[in-house]
């Protein structure tokens, strides 16, 4: 069976790398990787970390390119790859423009699609934009839908899509656990990574900030910067912000915050240094999707600078709070966690609802047609979650 995994950004690579590694261990599977490469530097460091060499590298990155240019270029380039490779199945991940274009290109050629991290929804096409539309298109084109949580499964079932739905857990937890084991086992590596940020005062708690969402461009980022400026005035916290390279992010953030002694605007961090920084952090302030899943697994309180999230499970579990982009809301939420140990303890260390480190094994079992015990965030799986086998797998691999 020939499987072609397609991804293009660093977050996709992080979550697909352990899937590709699991596929490579299957004797019956020929695993191939195609990257679209629009986030070149950030993508390459993840490929090196997980020792992955793409079979196809489309190099679609161009300066400040629009979504239509990216989507159109991806569709045309991927169509040529699909024509040459003729895979039995395509795997895509998540909600990027690459995932949407790859799923659509495979659908047009009647190639079965497996969607990793299927079923996430806000049911608001503008939040996040364009990710909400992208993941819906990918789900519609897919015959195997790998839902990370029971909630995402319920979303898919309510939409009555034709694909089969399996709850696998999120592959980001597989990747996270692999990297954390490496960090925990190597004190010299931890020390070397810490030395990359020597300016941090070890006596102060770290507020780790990530922010790059399109829907926050403009006023949203101005509010975020004003909030960080006010938090910095406290003088008792180290703010570390790995600033995205997009000029719509880098420009306003640098203009507003550069020069503050306890605000550290650093270039985007490789995955391993970022994981170490997240280990060291006291609070995480983000608009990222993946960080909402990773930080709770490390026992870190997460404040999300969005009005709604497609990952509500951690909100319900009490490890994540939505604060939007209001300056006052951000300042108040961060201050409460810094000043109130009881409030902090209520967020930190709760159960992570996103995975158990076995998502990739479940996905490969589904692809191979083997029975699979679905993921449950409960301590003991419910009796109803008996092993399931994909139905009619052989028929799915027959094309016109």
**What is 80-135 written as a DSSP string?**
HHHHHH--SEEEEETTSHHHHHHHHHHHHTT--EEEET-----S-TTTTTTHHHHH
CB atoms within 10 A of CB 18: 23
Report residues of the chain scoring pLDDT below 50. 379-385, 393-400
| pLDDT value for 221 | 83
**Segment 346-393, tens digit of pLDDT:** 887 666 789 999 999 999 999 999 999 999 986 433 334 456 667 654
Residue 396: per-residue pLDDT:
40
Which of these is catalytic: 39, 88, 115, 131?
Answer: 131
The alpha carbons of the chain give a radius of gyration, in whole angstroms, of 21
**Catalytic (active site) residue 131:** yes
Adjacency order of strands within the sheet including 164-167: 56-57, 30-35, 2-7, 89-93, 113-116, 144-147, 164-167
- Identify whether 244 is a catalytic site residue: yes
- Residues 274 and 242: their CA atoms lie apart, in Å, by 9
- Of the CA atoms within 13 Å of residue 288, those in its CB half-sphere come to 22
Query: Is 214 an annotated catalytic residue?
Result: yes
Catalytic residue among 10, 244, 361, 362: 244
Task: Report the alpha-carbon distance of residue 303 to residue 228 in Å, rounded.
Answer: 13
Length of the chain: 400
Residue 245: predicted pLDDT: 72
Helix/strand/coil for 285: strand
Asked if 266 contacts 242 with a C-beta cutoff of 8 angstroms, the reply is: yes
Q: Which of 212, 276, 306, 362 is catalytic?
A: 212
Predicted pLDDT of residue 117: 97
Domains and their CATH numbers in the chain: 2-167+369-396 (3.40.50.2000), 186-347 (3.40.50.2000)
| Pair of tokens at residue 34 | 């195609």
**pLDDT score of 385:** 44
Q: Are 26 and 368 in contact (CB under 8 A)?
A: yes
Per-residue pLDDT at 350: 63
Contact by Cβ (8 Å): 122, 92: no
Starting at the edge strand found earlier in the chain, the sheet holding 263-266 runs 263-266, 238-242, 206-210, 283-286, 302-304, 320-322
Place of tokens 């993941």: 135
Catalytic residue among 12, 88, 117, 270: 117
Q: What is the pLDDT of residue 207?
A: 98
* DSSP one-letter code for 181: H
What is the rounded distance in angstroms from the CA atom of residue 296 to the CA atom of residue 353?
9
CB 71 within 8 A of CB 50: no
Q: Which of 95, 139, 287, 374 is catalytic?
A: 95
Residue of 109, 182, 204, 214 marked active site: 214
Told to judge if 153 belongs to the known catalytic residues of this protein, a careful annotator would answer no
Q: Is the peptide bond before 128 cis (omega within 30 degrees of 0)?
A: yes
DSSP-derived 3-state class of residue 144: strand
- Identify the pLDDT of residue 281: 96
């Amino acid at each position: 069976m020939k499987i072609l995994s397609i991804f293009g950004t660093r977050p996709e690579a992080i979550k697909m790398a352990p899937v590709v590694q699991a596929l490579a261990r299957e004797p019956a599977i020929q695993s191939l990787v195609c990257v679209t490469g629009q986030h070149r530097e950030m993508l390459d460091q993840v490929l090196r970390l997980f020792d992955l060499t793409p079979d196809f590298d489309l190099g679609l990155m161009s300066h400040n390119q629009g979504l239509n240019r990216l989507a159109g270029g991806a569709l045309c380039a991927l169509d040529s790859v699909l024509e040459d490779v003729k895979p039995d199945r395509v795997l895509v991940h998540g909600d990027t423009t690459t995932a949407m274009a790859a799923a659509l290109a495979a659908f047009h050629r009647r190639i079965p699609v497996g969607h990793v991290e299927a079923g996430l929804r806000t049911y608001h096409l503008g939040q996040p934009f364009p990710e909400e539309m992208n993941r819906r298109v990918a789900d519609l084109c897919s015959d195997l839908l790998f839902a990370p949580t029971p909630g995402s499964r319920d979303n898919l079932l309510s939409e009555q899509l034709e694909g089969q739905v399996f709850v696998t857990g999120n592959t980001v937890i597989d990747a996270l656990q692999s990297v954390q084991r490496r960090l925990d086992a190597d004190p010299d590596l931890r020390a070397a990574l810490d030395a990359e940020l020597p300016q941090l005062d070890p006596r102060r708690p770290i507020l780790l900030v990530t922010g790059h969402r399109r829907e926050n461009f403009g006023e949203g980022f101005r509010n975020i910067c004003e909030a960080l400026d006010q938090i910095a005035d406290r003088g008792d916290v180290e703010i570390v912000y790995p600033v995205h390279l997009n000029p719509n992010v880098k420009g306003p953030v640098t203009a507003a915050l550069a020069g503050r002694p306890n605000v550290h605007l650093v270039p985007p961090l490789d995955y391993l240094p970022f994981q170490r920084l997240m280990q060291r952090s006291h609070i995480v302030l983000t608009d990222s999707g993946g960080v909402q899943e990773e930080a709770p697994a490390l026992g870190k309180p997460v404040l999300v600078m969005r009005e709604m999230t497609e990952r509500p499970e951690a909100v319900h579990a009490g490890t994540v709070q939505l604060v939007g982009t209001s300056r006052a809301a951000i300042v108040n939420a961060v201050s409460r966690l810094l000043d109130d140990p009881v409030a902090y303890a209520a967020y930190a260390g709760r159960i992570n609802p996103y995975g158990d480190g076995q998502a990739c094994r479940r996905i490969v079992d589904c692809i191979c047609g083997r029975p699979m015990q679905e993921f449950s965030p409960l301590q003991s799986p419910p009796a109803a979650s008996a092993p399931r086998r994909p139905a009619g797998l052989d028929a799915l691999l027959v094309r016109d």
